[in-house]
């Protein structure tokens, strides 16, 4: 468990997600989906029920995990790293995903979560972290670049929202 002081003076706690908070996590992630179109899911949520989410949390390893960010004991952010541990040639790569409630954007949660995930991934033997982000998500791209990620390519028509296609950047970080 890590503690950080946020730009707004509040204390941030970062820790691994727990199976017993699966319902709270689903409520949180569904709220995130309603607040922005920059995610791979929308108001419909991530398509898992509580039992499926619990099983997902119980399947975590040193290289496959979900961190949660808490302010006042409320989940306000999450960051996952996933690997393909069954593929010897790819198991050194972690794929990063991050969500933060809109009310908590811009106060340091994303940076703290990503740095924690990078450190945990590095300790587990990962040597590369990659992510996808929409090309018009300027704030996220700026943060990723500040943390050392580089744009490695552009994927055309990867996200479809309300009859419109959007491109994603693939960004990578060698750790």
pLDDT of residue 46: 83
- Residues contacting residue 76 through CB under 8 Å, at least 6 positions apart: 28, 69, 70, 100, 101, 103, 104, 109
Condensed to tens digits (0 to 9), the pLDDT of residues 66-114 reads: 999 999 999 999 999 999 888 989 999 999 999 999 999 999 999 999 9
In the predicted structure, residue 147 carries a pLDDT above the cut 80: yes
pLDDT score, position 33:
93
What architecture is domain 2-174? 3-Layer(aba) Sandwich (3.40)
On whether the pTM is more than 0.85, the answer is yes
Q: How far apart are CA 44 and CA 137, in angstroms?
A: 21
Instruction: Report the pLDDT averaged over residues 144-171.
Output: 98
Burial class, 153, CB count within 10 angstroms (exposed 0-12 / middle 13-18 / buried 19+): exposed
For the chain, which residues make up each domain, given as ranges? 2-174
Each residue of 6-50: pLDDT tens digit? Answer: 999 999 999 999 999 999 999 999 999 999 999 989 888 787 889
């Amino acid at each position: 468990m890590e503690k950080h002081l946020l730009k707004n003076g509040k204390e941030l706690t970062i820790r691994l997600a727990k199976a017993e908070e699966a319902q709270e996590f689903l409520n949180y992630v569904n709220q995130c989906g309603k607040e922005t179109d920059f995610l791979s899911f929308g108001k419909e949520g991530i398509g898992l029920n509580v039992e499926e989410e619990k099983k997902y949390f119980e399947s975590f390893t040193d290289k496959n995990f979900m961190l949660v960010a808490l302010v006042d004991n409320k989940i306000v952010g999450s960051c996952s790293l996933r690997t393909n541990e069954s593929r010897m040639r790819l198991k050194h790569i972690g794929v990063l995903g991050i969500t933060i409630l809109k009310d908590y954007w811009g106060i340091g949660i994303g940076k703290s979560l990503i740095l924690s995930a990078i450190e945990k991934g590095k300790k587990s033997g990962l040597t590369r972290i990659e992510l996808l982000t929409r090309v018009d998500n300027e704030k996220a791209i700026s943060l990723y670049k500040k943390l050392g990620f580089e744009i490695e390519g552009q994927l055309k028509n990867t996200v479809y929202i309300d009859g419109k296609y959007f491109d994603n950047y693939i960004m990578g970080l060698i750790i």
